[in-house]
Structure 1
Amino acid sequence: MTAISEHSSTSQAGLVGFYRRVIKLPEHVPFSLIQLAARVAVAHVFWQSAQSKLASWPVTLQLFANEYNLPFVDPSIAAPLATAAELTGSVLIFLGLFSRLAALMLLGIVSVIQIFVYPENWAEHLLWSSLLLLVLTRGAGVFSLDYVAARLLSTS
């Protein structure tokens, strides 16, 4: 082997090795940070939605009566139920308290919105669902009250 081909193969191995190290860097991000980011992002979506409903309750009732057209549920019942679920779910997800239950509840809301209200917004609903499914299937992570409660209860 000549000196030129040895240098070339060493250079390629160096570049390939460097590339492999760089693409593996994200694997060092703690999963709990990803869980926290997912929780904060999805909590913000539902908190903002609930706040907009509360900001103008007459408009909210009108939307539930005329635009949302939910089957089987009277708008005067659906509006406060949806608002309460969004408020409760967003706070619980944000705190990481009963987070799997909260994720399941908010997934129910997303399903209703997708099926009955805004089916054309499927990409946005898929994004919310992905974050909620992460919490549902993997939990809230170490930066959560669920984690603190589990640690306290396991030492008892």
Structure 2
Amino acid sequence: MTMTQDMPASSGRSLIAAYRGVLNLAGRVPLSLIQLAGRIAVALVFWQSAQSKLASWPVTLQLFAFEYNLPLISPAIAAPLATAAEIVGAALLFLGLFARIGALVLLGVTAVIQIFVFPGHWGEHLMWASLLLLVFSRGAGVISLDHLADSYFGRRA
């Protein structure tokens, strides 16, 4: 006997119905909730990175001089520039205020890290970029200061 002969047809249909029920439930998750989770997740990565840079600035400068070693830009300029981009981008994403600009800034940081610093970590960078592209392309969502400002100023225009 084959497996299909052992399993009654009604069981197969109920499995398919259960699967479709799960898909329908997943389809009901609000996009704004996904946008909020994505914004917070990627903002935390860059916020923590900036905080570790600020915690020991001399070590940060050494890392930029010897390990990160970006072309065409001095470590004395690259370190504060990268740190500022991480702080500002993370704050904008977390608050959902000018979130698309924050996402674009952090996409730039991610690209620099991928191309010049840690090219072997492409999987992690792709995950960050995916979340940042979600925010850049679809916005911060309803749970954001962008939405609040748009609602307030949109009515006045």
Do Structure 1 and Structure 2 share a fold, with TM-score over 0.5?
yes
Per-residue CA deviation, residues 2-57 of structure 1 (Å, 9 max, x unaligned), is: xxxxxx55554344223211232111111100000000000000000000000000
* Residue 71 of structure 2 is aligned to residue 57 of structure 1: no
What are structure 2's unaligned runs of at least 5 residues? 1-7
Moved over 6 A (4+): none
Q: Find the aligned partners of 1:75 and 1:14 in 2 and give their Cα distance.
A: 62
Q: Which residues in structure 2 correspond to 1:1-156 (within 5 Å)?
A: 8-156=8-156
Per-residue CA deviation, residues 107-153 of structure 1 (Å, 9 max, x unaligned), is: 00000000000001110000000000000000000000000010001
Q: Find the aligned partners of 2:140 and 2:100 in 1 and give their Cα distance.
A: 8
Determine what percentage of the aligned residue pairs are the same residue.
64
Cα 1:66–1:12 shift into 2, 3 Å = closer
Please say which of residues 23-32 and 49-58 is displaced more in the overlay: 23-32
Q: Equivalent residue for 1:5?
A: none
Q: Find the aligned partners of 1:25 and 1:80 in 2 and give their Cα distance.
A: 45
What are structure 1's unaligned runs of at least 5 residues? 1-7
Q: Find the aligned partners of 2:110 and 2:54 in 1 and give their Cα distance.
A: 19
TM-score (norm 2): 0.91
TM-score (norm 1): 0.91
Q: Find the aligned partners of 2:79 and 2:20 in 1 and give their Cα distance.
A: 52
CA RMSD of aligned residues (A): 1.1
Q: Find the aligned partners of 1:31 and 1:19 in 2 and give their Cα distance.
A: 21
- Equivalent residue pairs, number: 149
